[in-house]
Structures are given as C-alpha cells and as structure tokens.
Amino acid sequence: MPTSRLAFVPFVSFVTFVSLVSMAQVRRAPSTMPRTADGHPDFTGTYDAGTLTPVERAPGTPAIIPADEVKKLEKQAAARMTTGDAPIKGDRTAPPVGGDGSVGPAGNVGGYNTFWLDPGSHYTVINGQARASIVVDPPDGRVPAITPEARQRIAARTRTAAATSDTISRENDPGYEGGGAYDDPERRPLGERCLLGFGSTSGPPILPTYFYNNLHQIVQTKDSVMILTEMVHDARIVRMGGQHLPKTIRKWMGDSIGRWEGDTLVVDTTNFTDKTRFRGSTPDLHVVERFSRLDARTLLYRFTIEDPATWPRPWTGEYAWPATSDLIYEYACHEGNYALGNILRGARLKEAEDAAKKKP
Amino acid sequence: MRTRISICAAAALAVAAALPIAAHHAFGGEFDPNKPVLLKGPVTKLEWVNPHAWIHLEVTNPDGTKEEWMVEGGTPNTLLRRGITRDSLKVGTIIVVDGYQARDHSLKRANGRNITYPDGRKLFLGSSGTGAPTDGADPTEPAKGRGRGGPGGR
C-alpha cells in the first residue's frame, strides 16, 4: 500500500507539471505567434481543416471526448483505412446485381477504395480537450431544428418544377434520388456542377469535407484577406474595414468585411444569393467568423450563423485548423466533369426504360 | 457515465464509418446497380483530372474482341499530395476493377469500387516494380514522395 501511494505522488506531480506546461504554452503563444508589420497576428499559411469531429454529435452525448476514448476512436479510424488498403482477392467476381447495399451519399453502387480518400485522422482539440462536435452553441452540440416556415419554403422549392423523374420506379434502385433530382442540371448540387464548394467547404461557414481536399490557404495583407478553399477552388476576398455593399449586390459566397478585435480577425458576411443555401438558409443569412490562434501553428476557426427565417436562434461552431506543409493543388474541375453528363444521360435513359416497361 | 461515453463513441464511430465512402457526387444517378462489372486488362491511358480521375484499360471479351473501358476514381489532388503522379501508373500495367457500369450502357464506363493489381494488392499501395510509389526496398529506384506503401506514408 505505501509503495503504491509513493508511486502515485510522482504521478500526480507529473500530471500537474504537464498541465502547467501546457497552460504556459497557451499563454506564451501570443508572444511567439507570427505577426505582420502592423502588429496583427499573421494568419498567412495553409491549413488542413480535415477532422474526425462531426458537425453535430448524437443527442444527449457529452461535448468532450475523454483522452483514452479519443485514442481508441482515432486508432479505429486508422484501422479502417488500413483495412481498406489491405489486398483483396485478385480473382474476385463482379459485385452483386442490385448494388452493394450501401446507403447514403455513395449511393447503392458504392464509392472508391480508400487510396483516394483523406478524411482526417484526428478529433479537433481545443485547449487540450477533444471535441465531440463542431457545434458548441446550442450546448447540446446540435444545429437547431429549422422553423416551420423554412420547412415549407424548402418543400415548395422542391415542387417548383414538374418532376418528371418522380414517376420513375425506384424499386431495386435505392441509390437513385427522387424528387426530380435529375431533371435539370441546375437541380444538381453546386459542387457536383464544379461551381462552388462541396457541402459548405467554401462557406462561409467553412466546414470539413470529411473525405478529401480539406486544405485552405490564407493570404493576408493590410487591406484584404484571401481565403482559398481547395474544394472546389474558391477564393473569397475579405475587405478589411469598410462597409457592406448595397443589398442589391449579392455574391455566391456573400460579401465579407473584416475587422480586428484584439488578436482575433472577425469576418462579417451578408448579401448572399439564393443559389448558395447553407442548410436551406435564405439570402439574408448572416455569418460571423472569428479567426484566432490556439498556438503558433494552429488556428481556431469559430463561426456564428444567423438567419431567423431558417433557425429560431443563432448557433455557433468551432474547430481547429492545424497548419500544414502540404501544397494546395488546383481543383479546376468543370472541363473534366464527365460525371455530370453521365448522371443526366443516365436519368434520361432510365426514364425511357421505365416508360417502355409500363406500356401494355 | 461509462454508458454515456460508449454511446458517444458509438455515435462518433457511426458517423465516421458512414463518411469515408462518400465522395463527390450522385453515384446512384451515374451508375447502374443492376450492371455489375469485373474488368481486367492493361492500362491504356490516365486522365488525371478533377473532379474525378479516369483510368482507361483495354478489356478482351470472351470472343476475343477488345474494348476500351474508362473507370472513375476520386480526386487526383489527394494522390498528388502523397507523391503519386500520373506517371506512377504505367501504361501497360495490368489492373483488375470491380464496379458498376454507367447507366448508359453504350458507354464503356464504370466506377472503380476496387482497383487492384492481378494479385489483389490495391492500386498505388504496392511496392516497387509495379509502377506504384517506391517504398525504398529497391535501391535502384529513385525515391518518389510519400507513397502510402513506403516510409512516411500514412
């Protein structure tokens, strides 16, 4: 018993020492962080926003994941990639008729093997705590439920055009989207059309892709800050100081103006169009982003979303952007986008086939 | 508390498990789940383009006729960051692909769910001598970045 106690004391001292050291590092960061000639923090650099932390966490679950649990989860994520990389049978047969049974974004025919993927390998850590969700307010880590008005608006938008492919039988074809989703190229998501972002990678707010190309580059001058998003090659220019443009001038990524609040860069964005709907938001969406430093190599990206016609209350998320020495590559994808043509052509053929089947 | 953590872990895992297979677009719209294919043959051309790389291969049919198929993969950017380039997969390398054909059957196009060498090793994850990134095992080969099969790989 005395022996274990003796062993316990140095352990506690060690833990205290480690905690103090990490606290000291956080406090020391401001003096060591890179600064521009005019004294503001210099955020210029390339950052990897890839993370295992999801936007929302499961209802009723804690905001912080204990360290031992994080280790386990990250190990499992790495193991899934390793399993995906493992050899399979060279003399295998074709996959099953009717699809591989996968649901969700990959559709019923499945995706690609893991060598193409780079989804992030760690949970986001802020002040030493691994986060279970990017959303921090509401404190339950969930995006607030959209208003009844927003629900009606979104439903009405889906009904705007007559949905010819609605009549298509989706039997044995669960990967095929309904709701006239393939009726018109403009009904396809902006990312799929190589126009802007994927999900909300270009933002604002900027969110991880959770599969690949999570890099962002910041170039900072006294008068403007550029945020380049690799996926889908989008550059947003933030004007420092200044006022928002008149409400009649609207932009796909909104109109962003920046200001400094101490060592935090605050970017205020309004004047959105109705083309970039973040989770069903209106053009009146208002996003406030706050860029600050967790340490000399890590940014904290925090955002607050406000759109009373969509959510009954503002909500906030945050996650860490570690700097990376990896390079951003151009993601010019329009010219090589055979997929969009294949998708629309496939839908027309399916319509014709299904119509032929229905004839007596 | 323990139960709570487990639920949290399970939820996180469920989210993480669902995501890695997600990619750029509507696979279900582009490819036909009722047309599974298994393709084998030499690589004839690589289109190292975004949003999706396309690997061309020549497939010999049972009657001896030959057809060129195009297989859709993910973004080349991620592979470039690992040091894999369009030159990493040599024309003539035999590959095996399983996937589903495009809904337009007149197009010899398919998604590459699994792309491997004939011995089942996943494409680009192999060792030297295959056109895959080098792993340092062959001193005669110049080092070629951070292939996942080699040192510094993921």
Report the pLDDT value the prediction gives residue B24, as an integer from 0 to 100.
58
From B11, B81, B104, residue closest to A58, measured CB to CB: B11
pLDDT at B19 over 60: no
Report the pLDDT value the prediction gives residue B137, as an integer from 0 to 100.
40
ipTM of predicted complex: 0.82
Q: Between B2-18 and A67-85, two packed helices, what is the crossing angle to 10 degrees?
A: 30
Mean pLDDT of B79-105: 91
Contacts of B22 in chain A (CB under 8 A): 104-106, 111, 210-211
- Compute CA distances A22 → A18, A94, A131, A152, A334, whole Å: 6, 53, 18, 49, 46
- Helix, strand, coil tally for chain A in percent (to 5): 25, 20, 50
- What percentage of chain B exceeds 70 in pLDDT? 65
pLDDT at B146 over 50: no
pLDDT at B118 over 70: yes
Mean pLDDT of B124-148: 41
Nearest CA distance, B79 vs chain A (angstrom):
7
B79 burial (CB, 10 Å; 0-12 / 13-18 / 19+) is buried
Q: Which of B148, B154, B13, B21 minimizes the C-alpha distance to A123?
A: B13
Q: Give the Cα separation of A309 and A343 in Å (integer).
A: 33
Render pLDDT for A50-67 as a digit per residue (tens, 0 to 9). 999 999 999 999 999 999
A8 burial (CB, 10 Å; 0-12 / 13-18 / 19+) is exposed
Would the CB atoms of B103 and A177 count as touching at under 8 Å?
no
pLDDT at B83 over 70: yes
From A90, A335, A336, residue closest to B118, measured CB to CB: A90
Q: Which of B19, B75, B77, B25 minimizes the C-alpha distance to A53?
A: B19
Flag the least confident range among A233-247, B84-98, B128-142.
Answer: B128-142
Report the pLDDT value the prediction gives residue A100, as an integer from 0 to 100.
83
Would the CB atoms of A107 and B29 count as touching at under 8 Å?
yes
Report the pLDDT value the prediction gives residue A308, as an integer from 0 to 100.
97
| Buried-exposed string A282-317: b where 16+ CB fall within 10 A, e elsewhere | bbebbbbbbbbbbbeebbbbbbbbbbeebbeeebbb
Q: Give the Cα separation of A344 and A182 in Å (integer).
A: 6
For chain B, the average pLDDT equals 74
Nearest CA distance, B140 vs chain A (angstrom):
25
Would the CB atoms of B51 and A92 count as touching at under 8 Å?
no
- Compute CA distances A353 → A69, A342, A347, B41, whole Å: 51, 16, 10, 31
Mean pLDDT of B107-129: 82
Report the pLDDT value the prediction gives residue B84, as an integer from 0 to 100.
86
Q: Give the Cα separation of A117 and A172 in Å (integer).
A: 28
- Residue type present at position A180: G
Q: Which helix (H) or strand (E) holds B29?
A: helix B27-30
Report the pLDDT value the prediction gives residue B29, as an integer from 0 to 100.
87
DSSP letter at A336 equals: T
pLDDT at B139 over 90: no
For B50, name the nearest residue in chain A, comparing CA atoms only: A333
- Residue type present at position B116: T
Would the CB atoms of B16 and A336 count as touching at under 8 Å?
no
From A114, A174, A342, residue closest to B102, measured CB to CB: A342
Q: Which residues is B71 bridged to in the sheet?
A: B55, B110
Residue spans of chain A under pLDDT 50: 1-29, 166
Render pLDDT for A102-113 as a digit per residue (tens, 0 to 9). 776 677 888 888
- Helix, strand, coil tally for chain B in percent (to 5): 20, 30, 50
Q: Give the Cα separation of B112 and B97 in Å (integer).
A: 6
B140 burial (CB, 10 Å; 0-12 / 13-18 / 19+) is exposed
The CA R_g of chain B, rounded to the nearest whole Å, is 18
Nearest CA distance, B24 vs chain A (angstrom):
7
